[in-house]
Amino acid sequence: MNSRHWHHLLAVPLTLLSLGASAEAWEEKLYNPMPDAEDVVLPMPCDGAMVFRKVFIPLAGPLDDYPINIGGDNSEWGYVEQTHPAFIAGSFTAEKNAKSRFYLLAKYEMTELQYRALTQPECPAPSNKQRLPIVSVSWMQAMEAADKYNIWLRQNAADKLPTEDGVAGFVRLPTEVEWEFAARGGLNVSTAEFRDLHYPMPEGLNAYEWFSGTQSSNGQLQLTGLLKPNPLGLHDMLGNVDEMMFEPFRLNKLDRQHGQAGGYVVRGGDYRTATADIRSALRKERNYYDAKAPATSKTTGFRLALASSTLTSRDRVSSIETSWKKLGTGSGDSNQSNDKNTAQALGTLASTVEDEALKEKLKALENQLRASNQQQEESRDQAIRASLNLGAFLCTKMLDDGKYLDFLQKNYDLNCSAAEQDASCPMRKGKLDEQKDRLHKLSHYYASSLVDASTLYGEPLLARQVPVLGEIIARNEQLKELKPYLQTHWVNQQAFLKTQKIDTDAWLNRCKAVQ
């Protein structure tokens, strides 16, 4: 069944709202003006709908999370936006043995029509002008709308909600990390593009986002979904209205957030934001209350995220406990360091000590060492993925240079093997020798990189990161072509790990054979 037309075929009882008259069905353009095959459509009251997009994270374990850097390097606003490390993980798995997880984020900012369908006792009459983002609502009202939507979904469309471990998900405001990861383009952009001021915009900023000035919003709030989406298919992530976050505002203290929690956070800028200030790192604090009432703003709206609980079952808790015990201890790591052995020894020693004060000190030392080891493991895993990515890229170069050498050799043989050589033969011979030398150097650089990574990390650690990098590549349109080269590079690396033989000719031929 085509998901965009589900509401014409499914009768959904509106038990949450007492409606005086039957609801008029919403046309698709009112809730999804730019439909896409990967949209996830959830029903709403009043025969409406809301569209979400999956945001993938390339890890699937219960305690796995993905390291990213968020914020920006702006000295003027460093105490608000300074770049700092963060971690993100998905809520849902698409299948039992999935290599990644995902959460969902609304494709568009919540509209006036959607908000009224959730909060008013009577269904609003659908109209295009109600595609404007809902503004002038407080943070509490946004949370209340999410609460009403959750209750309605559970009462009327529970089978439409994604589940994890058999437990239905729920909508809420996004966290800052969820929002910024998606706003920057997630896995669908390169690492360098992710760190840029905003996601790639080949046709210019005004084709993608609303901002201040006559070339864009001209000082007016705009309908949702008029402009092009970001690389994840999300519209109006920057500009139009700034968007409320789930957690309170905190200042930045270099590599961590300050201890004081303040008002709520809004992200992304609005239709009055200057062009130079439109950026993924933009964040501001808003008060929850004015002098006498909850605070609202005509430039602030929100979009919902769809996530799941963490501790969903006894089996999940057991799996998390098992993973927790291994964190920073080197369990299952064939390259186990002395620090990891020491962490295990401290844990064993603490369990045998009767002096409670000494036991607490030993456990504290164990936890500090495990945390340090875990940080090193995460940095190591990033380095392994970088080495695998380099190997895959070099494999593409060996394919190109190898086939070009074959072309030059064939032409040389055709024109210069006879007794009477063509006048161009010296030039052809020079190009042929030059290409042979280039390919020789490239093959040896590839071999050095492969051998160094094999020696430094070993097969178990490398094997663990191959599917992770595979997921990252598969989600990025610019990198998808690398996937067969990654697999070929891994075959080459496994061959060396097994035989300890450097066979540049075999490695070159495998890369040249990639289709």
CATH architecture for segment(s) 3-23+38-307: Alpha-Beta Complex (3.90)
**Structural domain spans, the chain:** 3-23+38-307, 327-374, 377-512
pLDDT at position 349 is 72
pLDDT per residue as tens digits for the range 432-468: 999 999 999 999 999 999 999 999 999 999 999 999 9
Q: Percentage of residues in the chain with pLDDT exceeding 70?
A: 92
Cβ within 8 Å of residue 294, ≥6 positions away: 138, 139, 140, 141, 288
CA 197 to CA 184: how far, in whole Å? 9
CA 482 to CA 389: how far, in whole Å? 8
CA 305 to CA 175: how far, in whole Å? 8
pLDDT at position 24 is 82
pLDDT at position 326 is 84
Output Rg (C-alpha) for the chain, integer angstroms: 28
- Kindly report the average pLDDT of the chain as a whole number: 90
Token pair recorded at residue 116? 């009224």
How many other CB atoms are there within 10 angstroms of residue 505's CB atom? Answer: 8
Q: Is pLDDT of 26 > 90?
A: yes
pLDDT per residue as tens digits for the range 206-245: 999 999 999 999 999 999 999 999 999 999 999 999 999 9
Residue located via tokens 């054979």: 513
pLDDT per residue as tens digits for the range 68-100: 999 988 767 889 998 989 999 999 998 878 889
Q: Is pLDDT of 146 > 90?
A: yes
Specify the pTM. Answer: 0.87
